[in-house]
């Protein structure tokens, strides 16, 4: 049974929503863990599926997989933390050190801290607009295609491509200072 079919049938038999949870809990949790760290990942992953279940009547499948739709719900939850994420990125870019409560090596900030020149990347990420950052990180962390990111964020695939293209110079510059010549 595909996700689309499971969600459609779960409108009458709620139990049929279970396969959607089983298939997609892990990637959603991983995305949230990378974005916001361990403390919030558990709660937000749970919240994502509760919201998805409540919204299942409004779900309009674009493909067989509901994963982009679920990423979209998760991205909306992450958006509530946009300002604090920006603040943390800027603080790290400026100081080059993480406070004790940010030492989560799996989170985005932890990964940046472990990278060779994470500070320049942190600065570049902090400077992104919310929509751009969501687009970039759904692509990079979630591994979604342009079409899937578009489905998640409710924009056209062309918009996703345009956003990624627009962000390229700043990100490339930040990474070039990390590993000279890697992109040449």
Residues that bind other proteins (CB under 8 A): 11-15, 17, 21, 25-26, 29-30, 33-34, 39-47, 49-50, 53-54, 57, 77, 80, 106, 108, 111-112, 114-116, 121, 136, 139-141, 143, 164, 168, 171-172, 175, 178-179, 182-183
User: With respect to other proteins, which residue has the nearer C-beta, 62 or 166?
Assistant: 166
Residue 107 CB, nearest approach to other proteins (Å)? 10
User: With respect to other proteins, which residue has the nearer C-beta, 53 or 86?
Assistant: 53
| C-alpha–C-alpha distance, residues 22 and 70, integer Å | 13
Residue 96 CB, nearest approach to other proteins (Å)? 16
Task: Record the tokens describing residue 76, joined without a space.
Answer: 């909306």
| C-alpha–C-alpha distance, residues 184 and 167, integer Å | 17
User: With respect to other proteins, which residue has the nearer C-beta, 42 or 64?
Assistant: 42
Residue 91 CB, nearest approach to other proteins (Å)? 18
Contact 128, 108 (CB under 8 A): no
CA 91 to the chain's CA centroid: 21
User: With respect to other proteins, which residue has the nearer C-beta, 91 or 161?
Assistant: 161
Helix (H) or strand (E) holding 170: helix 157-176
Residue 84 CB, nearest approach to other proteins (Å)? 12
What are the backbone angles phi and psi of residue 181, rounded to the nearest 5°? 90, -10
Residue 119 CB, nearest approach to other proteins (Å)? 12
Task: Record the tokens describing residue 152, joined without a space.
Answer: 């998640």
> Is 41 exposed, middle or buried, given 0-12, 13-18 or 19+ CB atoms closer than 10 A?
buried
């Amino acid at each position: 049974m595909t996700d689309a079919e499971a969600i459609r049938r779960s409108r009458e038999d709620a139990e049929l929503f279970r396969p959607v949870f089983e298939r997609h809990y892990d990637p959603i949790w991983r995305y949230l863990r990378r974005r916001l760290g361990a403390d919030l990942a558990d709660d937000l992953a749970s919240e994502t599926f509760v919201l998805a279940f409540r919204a299942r009547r409004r779900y309009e499948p674009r493909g067989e997989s509901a994963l982009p739709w679920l990423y979209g719900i998760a991205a909306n939850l992450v958006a509530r933390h946009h300002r604090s994420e920006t603040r943390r990125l800027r603080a790290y870019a400026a100081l080059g050190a993480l406070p004790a409560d940010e030492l989560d090596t799996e989170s985005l900030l932890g990964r940046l801290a472990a990278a060779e020149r994470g500070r320049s990347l942190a600065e570049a990420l902090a400077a992104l607009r919310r929509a751009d950052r969501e687009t970039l990180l759904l692509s990079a962390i979630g591994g979604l295609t342009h079409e899937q990111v578009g489905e998640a964020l409710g924009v056209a695939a062309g918009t996703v491509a345009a956003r990624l293209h627009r962000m390229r110079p700043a990100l490339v510059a930040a990474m070039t200072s990390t590993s000279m010549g890697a992109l040449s």
